Structure 1
Amino acid sequence: MISVIILTKNEEKDIPLCLTSLHWCDDVHVLDSGSTDKTIEIAKQFEAKVWNNVFESFGKQRNYALDHISSKHNWILFLDADEIVTDKFKLAMYEAINIANIEVAGFYCCWKMMLEGKWLKHCDNFPKWQFRLMRKSRARFTDFGHGQKEDKVDGQIKYIKEPYLHFGFSKGWYQWIERHNKYSTLEAVARLQNPQSIKNIFARHGSVRNQALRSWLSKLPGWPFLRFFHAYFLNFGFLEGIPGLIYCTNMGYYEFLIQIKIRELSRNRVNKK
């Protein structure tokens, strides 16, 4: 009933648990972008079908998967290797697609951000929505910031409120900081070149609303500190102990990187005129 596509590159640490959580699925595909570790070997051990494509961006990679992977089922779930499908999330997906009428093109899904075995419900502003479960041939993806969002959707997008698990820190803080330094550059370019309409702050869909909020809030002086203060104090992130403090501090730092890179890009743009 559901095919799964996982994007990978050097995911030997995370992919075993991800694939183990998909024991119920008879059509798992791994789209790899040049792994040099045991990612592909592990995927084949789990009898996943392996495909290869050079990574350019998340939006392009997901569209490549839609165009070139022959999925068995009419519904496609996109996962990252550091994500795990729980039994409750699986049941929620089945229930959702069983009652979905023909107008439904897909579903926004949300995750539980996990750090040191703790769910960062308050720090991570749960729930955050991404378009992850779609009916075949009813939508595309487009790049946005360091990630992607839905594009050319033919129909309605609904919500699955039961979350899956996301282990975004499984490879350690060095890797997280290195990766988010790159992400902050992409996010700065996106926020500068694709300004969001202020009316989108009041949009019904959380995915649209959150993008607009990030775009406008990043213009505020002191926004990185406010990002920390909001998550840690106003959202009760302090209840999540040391993991909560570490996460909120790093998210404030991430917003600081985005803000100074927007400033640098703006100055470079002026100097070129």
Structure 2
Amino acid sequence: MSENHHNTCSKLPISVFIVTLNEAKFIEKTLNSVRQCAEVIIVDSGSTDGTVEIATRLGAKVIYNPWQGYAKQKQIAMEHCHFDWVLNLDGDEELTSSALEALCHAMENDSHSAVRLKRIDRFIGRFPSEWVKKPNNVRFYKKRDACFDKDKLVHESAHVKGDELYLQQHFLHYGYDDIDTLDAKYNTYSTLRAEEKVVQGKCYSLLKLLAIFPLTFIKEYILCRFFLFGVRGFIKSMMAAHYAFLKEAKLYERNQKSNNKALR
């Protein structure tokens, strides 16, 4: 990045918003990656590990709000932002310098309402090779065109009116680095997703229950090329397949409990 462009980006009119709960392990890395942005808003739901102290020391505005769910917390955080362009990160993510530069250009061109970036997940101490397919997420958008679906319990993402720009630049995610943490997250997420489906009136499918594990493994390991990530790729693909299975199994469980109540 050139010195002139660096100086321009150092005062970019961008609001970064982050939802946190005990993110002391990575929050400094996250905040340092967006120190060129003009505003950083953190909505914390009761951290006890020093997250708030670190964020305050690094110049972020910290707002306490009791946990209301992922989507509701992010909507509240976004509403506190003052600039037209907003960037959403989690407290275990890091924006790369090349991604920041690309976001600068996107904002200057002003031809899209939202920007998608690739996400690279670290797993067991390493990031996958460039040949492994990466997920992409909408993280940069115009505040006035965006909102979060407050009924969404998990895997929340802003709904943005207007065109999206897909970029090859990426941000780094550290929150899936070890098996215990990823397994715990998948367990929580699968419960929330099953509850979400019940609210939507969805019923389990025996065919999906039988097929979801092998199909997800094939998708991750072969189609997304995680076989190029060695043993880590095999483990991660198996865990992704198990997560997909858990969502369907928990939906089945909830359907059965509802049927049993109806028969009483």
TM-score tier by shorter-chain length is 0.7 to 0.9
1:4 and 2:10 matched: no
Tell me how far apart the structure 2 counterparts of residues 160 and 217 of structure 1 sit (CA, whole Å): 38
Structure 2 residue aligned with 1:226: 215
Tell me how far apart the structure 2 counterparts of residues 241 and 52 of structure 1 sit (CA, whole Å): 42
Deviation at 1:45, TM superposition (A): 1.6
1:130 and 2:119 matched: no
Closer, same or farther: CA 217–106 of 1 in aligned 2, 3 Å: farther
RMSD: 2.5
1:64 maps to a residue whose letter is I
TM-score (norm 1): 0.81
Deviation at 1:195, TM superposition (A): 7.4
Structure 2 residue aligned with 1:119: 128
Closer, same or farther: CA 135–216 of 1 in aligned 2, 3 Å: farther
Q: Of the candidates 166, 175, 178, which is equivalent to residue 181 of structure 2?
A: 175
Tell me how far apart the structure 2 counterparts of residues 131 and 176 of structure 1 sit (CA, whole Å): 22
Tell me how far apart the structure 1 counterparts of residues 101 and 205 of structure 2 sit (CA, whole Å): 37
Tell me how far apart the structure 1 counterparts of residues 140 and 223 of structure 2 sit (CA, whole Å): 32
Tell me, yes or no, if the aligned pair for 2:18 and 2:77 is still in contact at 8 Å: no
Tell me how far apart the structure 2 counterparts of residues 23 and 216 of structure 1 sit (CA, whole Å): 48
Structure 2 residue aligned with 1:186: 192
SS state at 2:169 partner = coil
Write the deviation string for residues 197-228 of structure 1: whole angstroms up to 9, x where unpaired.
Answer: xxxxxxxxxxxxxxxxxx99982523112211
Unaligned runs of 5+ in 1: 197-214
Tell me, yes or no, if the aligned pair for 1:76 and 1:133 is still in contact at 8 Å: yes
1:82-231 paired onto structure 2 within 5 Å = 82-101=92-111, 104-115=112-123, 116-119=125-128, 125-126=133-134, 128-142=135-149, 143-151=151-159, 153-170=160-177, 172-194=178-200, 219=208, 221-231=210-220
Tell me how far apart the structure 1 counterparts of residues 21 and 131 of structure 2 sit (CA, whole Å): 30
Closer, same or farther: CA 255–154 of 1 in aligned 2, 3 Å: closer
Q: Is 219-228 or 2-11 further displaced after alignment?
A: 219-228
Unaligned runs of 5+ in 2: 1-12
SS state at 1:222 partner = helix
Structure 2 residue aligned with 1:245: 234
Write the deviation string for residues 62-85 of structure 1: whole angstroms up to 9, x where unpaired.
Answer: 111133x2x342211010011111
Closer, same or farther: CA 250–154 of 1 in aligned 2, 3 Å: closer
SS state at 1:107 partner = strand
Q: Of the candidates 7, 10, 13, which is equivalent to residue 25 of structure 2?
A: 13
1:224 maps to a residue whose letter is F
Deviation at 1:145, TM superposition (A): 4.7
Closer, same or farther: CA 216–95 of 1 in aligned 2, 3 Å: farther
TM-score (norm 2): 0.83
Tell me how far apart the structure 2 counterparts of residues 14 and 131 of structure 1 sit (CA, whole Å): 21
Q: Which runs of 4+ in 1 moved over 6 A?
A: 215-218
Tell me, yes or no, if the aligned pair for 2:119 and 2:137 is still in contact at 8 Å: no
Structure 2 residue aligned with 1:200: none
Tell me, yes or no, if the aligned pair for 1:228 and 1:249 is still in contact at 8 Å: yes
Closer, same or farther: CA 174–83 of 1 in aligned 2, 3 Å: same
Tell me how far apart the structure 2 counterparts of residues 19 and 217 of structure 1 sit (CA, whole Å): 45
